[in-house]
């Protein structure tokens, strides 16, 4: 009786290891940006649920930036100009944050991530 061996060869194992390592490195670079975005969303939801009656756009921006600081969002990530408030078709005020994040990957390869989130606000905003 012949015994037949099966399994992965050394070269096959190295190729698999290379592919897994590449995607692991990519995840190590991208996960912090998405975690930071989660902090932005949490801060926006906190501002929206606390109510904004009688506050100006600048006051809401300051409060949102302070909330984002508690969520470990970098000051360099979101600028005050990335935060806007508009009215939707129903007349509700909407807090809108849109920003881009450039994540260096390797050599001259970067990831450009675009984040865009809107939440309805409770109360009236002073213009």
Q: What is the pLDDT confidence band of residue 124, given thresholds at 50, 70 and 90? A: low
pLDDT of 102 strictly over 90: yes
Q: What integer pLDDT is reported at residue 6 of this predicted model?
A: 80
What would the two tokens of residue 36 be? 């930071």
Percent residues over pLDDT 70 in the chain: 95
Q: What integer pLDDT is reported at residue 125 of this predicted model?
A: 66
- DSSP labels for the chain? ------S--HHHHHHHHHHHHHHHHHHHHHHHHHHHHHHHHHHHHHHHHH--TTEEHHHHHHHHHHHHHHTT--TTT--GGGEEEEE-TTS-EEEEEEEEEEEEEETTEEEEEEEEEEEEPSS-EE-
Q: What integer pLDDT is reported at residue 86 of this predicted model?
A: 84
**Tens digit of pLDDT for each residue in 13-44?**
999 999 999 999 999 999 999 999 999 999 99
Phi/psi for 38 (5° steps) reads -60, -40
Q: What integer pLDDT is reported at residue 93 of this predicted model?
A: 83
Q: What is the pLDDT confidence band of residue 59, given thresholds at 50, 70 and 90? A: confident
Give the separation between CA 101 and CA 52, rounded to whole angstroms: 28
Q: What is the pTM of this model?
A: 0.80
What would the two tokens of residue 33 be? 């940006």
Give the separation between CA 117 and CA 41, rounded to whole angstroms: 7
């Amino acid at each position: 009786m012949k015994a037949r061996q099966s399994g992965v060869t050394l070269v096959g194992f190295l190729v698999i290891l290379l592919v897994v390592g590449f995607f692991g490195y990519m995840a190590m670079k991208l996960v912090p940006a998405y975690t930071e975005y989660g902090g932005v969303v949490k801060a926006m939801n906190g501002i929206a649920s606390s109510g904004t009656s009688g506050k100006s756009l600048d006051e809401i921006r300051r409060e949102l930036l302070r909330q984002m600081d508690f969520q470990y969002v970098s000051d360099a990530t979101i600028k005050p100009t990335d935060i806007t408030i508009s009215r939707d078709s129903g007349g509700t005020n909407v807090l809108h944050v849109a920003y881009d994040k450039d994540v260096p990957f390797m050599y001259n390869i970067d990831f450009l991530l675009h984040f865009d989130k809107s939440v309805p606000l409770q109360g009236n905003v002073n213009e």
